[in-house]
Amino acid sequence: MSPTTEHENFRGVFTPVTEEVTAFDLPVTGRIPAELNGRYLRNGPNPMSLDDPKLHVFLGDGMVHGVRLRDGRAEWYRNRWVRSARVAERLGEPWPGGPVHDGMDFPANTHVIEHAGRTLALVEAGPRPYELTYELDTIGPCDFGGTLPGGYVAHSKLDPRTGELHAIAYYWGWDHLQYVRIDKAGLVTRTVNIPVEGSPMVHDCALTERYVVVYDLPITFDMELAARGVGLPYSWNERHRARVGLLPREGGAADVRWFDLDPCWVFHTLNAYDDGDRVVVDAVVYPRVFGGGRLEGGLPTLDRWTIDVPAGKVTTSRLDDRAQEFPRVDERYVSLPYRYGYAVCVGDLNERFAVGGPDLNDLDDDAFGNALIKHDLRIGSKQTRNLRRDAYAGEPVFVPAEGAAAEDDGYVLAYVNNPDRGAADLMILSAQDFTGEPVAVVHLPARIPLGFHGSWAPDTR
């Protein structure tokens, strides 16, 4: 693959990097807090070949980027492709092998987390996670010690009280969604098959103390697109009702309560929690997306669904109408009432596109990630940290300070493009001084294309 190769979906901020890099003792501006001991990890699509002109951005080979911080130093940066059989063959390496699901071997490209001592690259729609070493080399597909019956997901929710992972998996060949619970030892302890029609796509879920929140929204498997091999084989389905379900934590499929919604789509949940007889779900909501397998549709806003369980209805309110994505919360508050959330502003899109919805494939470099947002949901305010128009910041991840008492006592970490160097920086902000000078900026030796999700993986060794 040539670095100058033009591609409809992998250009500008999405242009892949072409080599793996390892660098030590990274230069830093400012001072890294000594309490930040661990790895900041992020995953995203980085295809090894651009020979297919219709390759969808969601289908690029996964590449994980990581920075290790310890004792106030940035010890290393690494980027590594996830070695599926196809990627290993292209690199001239033996495939490590492992338990794939239904022949779905895919170099996971969507998220990277740490759980029960495993570093896991995640993707949705059928494939299993890939386990990585601490240094991000590939171990192989993971089925959690033989306990995972099918595929897994891009997004799981960690219960901060029990240490369990909760998730909703889907696969085009199923007539159901599958709730999967993994204990703190890394073994699947519970699954529930939830019948649905139309093989819907389910990118995320939500968790409260009482419920797992299930999305069943109008993007479904599209056999015509699959047969044509054009883009992603999922599209907006006008005939598929939009609804949200509440699965009691210890309930079965028959216990799911469904609540109708106006047609919409959710990629990502900010958080959810119980409020008496009600359930509150905060999410980034699109009025429509995925026309003809492309990322076209209206702009996303941060909305709140208040589900009145006894009355059987949902009330929607707008928390913020500014276009944004990749919402994150202090993970100590997942499933609990909370105050603060963080997101990436998706540029000045409201000024760039006419009413009726943009084609999200055609966004230029200044439209992505030119600001980070901190939401104070208690008082209904937000702070915006503006960046250079060509900065394209990645997902902001909150890390609590050692001994933190206040919910926002900690740091926000994000990869940010530095156009002056043609490379990326790891920016570390004080969450309580969100618009002030960064606490530290770690200068990385390579560019990081715009990607998807990541995590802070604290050291336990």
**Model confidence, pTM:** 0.93
Q: Which of the four pLDDT bands, split at 50, 70 and 90, describes residue 6?
A: confident
CA dihedral 184, 190, 195, 201 (to 10 degrees): 20
CB count, 10 Å around CB of 129?
27
Give the whole-angstrom CA distance, residue 445 versus residue 14.
18
- Poorest-confidence range of 295-309, 347-361, 438-452? 347-361
CA 162, distance to chain mean position in Å, is 22
Question: What would the mean pLDDT of 131-154 be, rounded to a whole number?
Answer: 98
Average pLDDT, the chain: 91
% of the chain exceeding 90 in pLDDT: 81
pLDDT per residue over 75-101, tens digit each? 999 999 999 999 999 999 999 999 999
- What was the pLDDT predicted at 294? 52
- What was the pLDDT predicted at 12? 81
Q: Would you say 285 and 321 are in contact if contact means Cβ atoms under 8 Å apart?
A: no
Identity at 82, one-letter amino acid code? V
Give the whole-angstrom CA distance, residue 347 versus residue 351.
9
- What was the pLDDT predicted at 347? 54
In which residue are the tokens 């397998």 written?
Answer: 293
pLDDT value at 368 more than 90: no
CB count, 10 Å around CB of 461?
6
Nearest to 144 by CA among 156, 152, 136: 152
Bridge partner residues of 29 (DSSP): 441
What does the chain come to in residues? 461
Q: Which of the four pLDDT bands, split at 50, 70 and 90, describes residue 145?
A: very high
Q: Would you say 265 and 289 are in contact if contact means Cβ atoms under 8 Å apart?
A: yes
Among 299-303, 314-318, 365-369, top mean pLDDT goes to 314-318
Top pLDDT among 160 and 293 is at 160
Give the whole-angstrom CA distance, residue 416 versus residue 85.
31
- Domains of the chain plus CATH, in order, are 12-458 (2.130.10)
Identity at 209, one-letter amino acid code? E
- What was the pLDDT predicted at 226? 84
- What was the pLDDT predicted at 364? 44
Give the whole-angstrom CA distance, residue 315 versus residue 261.
9
Top pLDDT among 213 and 5 is at 213
Tokens of 210: 């009482």
Tokens of 151: 């595929």
- What was the pLDDT predicted at 292? 52
Q: Would you say 76 and 24 are in contact if contact means Cβ atoms under 8 Å apart?
A: yes
Tokens of 284: 């980034």
Top pLDDT among 6 and 44 is at 44
Calculate the alpha carbon distances from 204 to 198, 224, 267 in Å.
18, 25, 6
- What was the pLDDT predicted at 10? 83
Question: What would the mean pLDDT of 10-18 be, rounded to a whole number?
Answer: 87
- What was the pLDDT predicted at 298? 75
- What was the pLDDT predicted at 225? 84
Q: Which of the four pLDDT bands, split at 50, 70 and 90, describes residue 54?
A: confident
> At CA 342, angle to CA 63 and CA 394, rounded to 5?
25
Question: What would the mean pLDDT of 377-394 be, rounded to a whole number?
Answer: 92
Question: What would the mean pLDDT of 180-209 be, rounded to a whole number?
Answer: 98
pLDDT value at 355 more than 60: no
